[in-house]
């Protein structure tokens, strides 16, 4: 039997028995995992105080089964309510959702928007590969206008969600968007988000070579080159506007409003005060 080689930096965070991982060649999922693990390693040094929640889809497989941590793999579209429940039950934990654009913004869309509005103290990492990768590459709410998928072979008629902007307006404390070629920025963004309170949302544009790329491009490199050459920082985009085909990346917002849990503690304190005054009257 050949001995498994353990990665010197990220190896201790991964379950040996599922490595090498089963993602397609060229998929961005494990690149994102690598950046995330390095951020956790720098800030916390272990997964001890973490719980990861994911739904159904390829991206949902990043934490479960790969992370050697407490992970919960739930019904399609339901990682956010599960994560909210875990955080409310044990506020000491770092609760992180990692899942796909379909899982979190299609079937799970309502949960996403309301968790951001409530500014609940969880970190959501949404992997946007522009389609439902795992089930054959169907149209998602994030598929670009005109793009081909197995369910839109003549091109998509609909406009995609701009999820980062949506999260800003819904009320998240922190919102960022990167691509899998912006590795250092992504890692730094994870580091920052891991130390903040309230709802934090990081969207990562990621290649799906098996489905999306096959339907729309000749080669995977074309998508990666597009990520590299056509990305524009949100501050520049806000000042100068966005040209057709450009991808807006960067930190969309950073607020320091108290998260839901701090507000809840404050509410409890006030309620107890009122109750004490009534008892003493």
Residue 177 and residue 166: Cα distance in Å, rounded? 12
When asked if residue 32 is in the footprint of ligand TPP (CB under 6 A), the reply is: no
Total number of residues that touch ligand TPP (CB under 6 A): 17
3-state secondary structure 6-65: CCCCCHHHECHHHCCCCCCCCCCHHHHHHHHHHHHHHHCCCCCCEEEEECCCCHHHCCCC
- Chain positions 75 to 94 lying near ligand TPP, rule: CB under 6 A, are 76
- C-beta of 59 vs 120, nearer to ligand TPP: 59
Euclidean distance between CA atoms 55 and 80, whole angstroms: 9
57 part of the interface to ligand TPP, by CB under 6 A:
yes
Min dist. Cβ of residue 106 to ligand TPP (A)? 7
For position 140 contacting ligand TPP by CB under 6 A, the verdict is yes
Percent helix, strand and coil across the chain, each to the nearest 5: 40, 20, 40
Residue span binding ligand TPP (CB under 6 A) among the ranges 50-58, 90-98, 167-175, 233-241: 50-58
Going from the C-alpha of 164 to that of each of 146, 171, 176, 276, the distances in angstroms are 21, 11, 7, 44
The answer to the question of residue 101 lying near ligand TPP (CB under 6 A) is: yes
CB of 153 to ligand TPP, least distance (A): 18
Member of 135, 152, 162, 230 binding ligand TPP (CB under 6 A):
135
Binding site for ligand TPP (CB under 6 A): 56-59, 76, 99-103, 127, 129, 132-135, 140
């Amino acid at each position: 039997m050949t001995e498994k080689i353990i990665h010197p930096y990220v190896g201790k965070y991964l379950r040996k028995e599922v490595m090498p991982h089963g993602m397609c060649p060229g998929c961005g999922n494990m690149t994102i995992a690598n950046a995330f693990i390095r951020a956790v390693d720098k800030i916390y040094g272990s997964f001890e105080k973490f719980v990861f929640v994911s739904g159904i889809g390829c991206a949902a497989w990043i934490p479960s089964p790969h992370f050697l941590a407490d992970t919960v793999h739930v019904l399609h579209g339901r990682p956010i309510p599960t994560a909210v429940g875990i955080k409310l039950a044990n506020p000491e934990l770092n609760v992180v959702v990692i899942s796909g654009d379909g899982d979190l913004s299609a079937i799970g869309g309502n949960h996403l928007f309301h968790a951001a509005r409530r500014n609940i103290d969880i970190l959501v990492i949404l992997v946007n590969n522009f389609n439902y990768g795992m089930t054959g590459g169907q149209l998602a709410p994030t598929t670009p206008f005109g793009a081909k998928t197995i369910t839109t072979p003549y091109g998509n008629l609909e406009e995609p969600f701009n999820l980062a902007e949506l999260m800003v307006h819904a009320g998240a404390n922190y919102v960022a968007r990167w691509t899998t070629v912006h590795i250092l920025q992504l890692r730094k963004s994870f580091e920052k988000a891991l130390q903040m309170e309230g709802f934090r949302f990081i969207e990562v544009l990621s290649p799906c070579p098996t489905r999306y790329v096959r339907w729309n491009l000749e080669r995977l490199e074309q998508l990666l080159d597009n990520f590299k050459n056509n990305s524009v920082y949100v501050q520049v985009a806000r000042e100068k506007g966005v040209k057709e085909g450009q991808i807006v990346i960067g930190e969309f917002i950073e607020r320091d409003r108290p998260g839901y849990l701090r507000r809840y503690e404050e509410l409890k304190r006030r309620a107890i005060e009122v109750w004490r005054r009534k008892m003493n009257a």
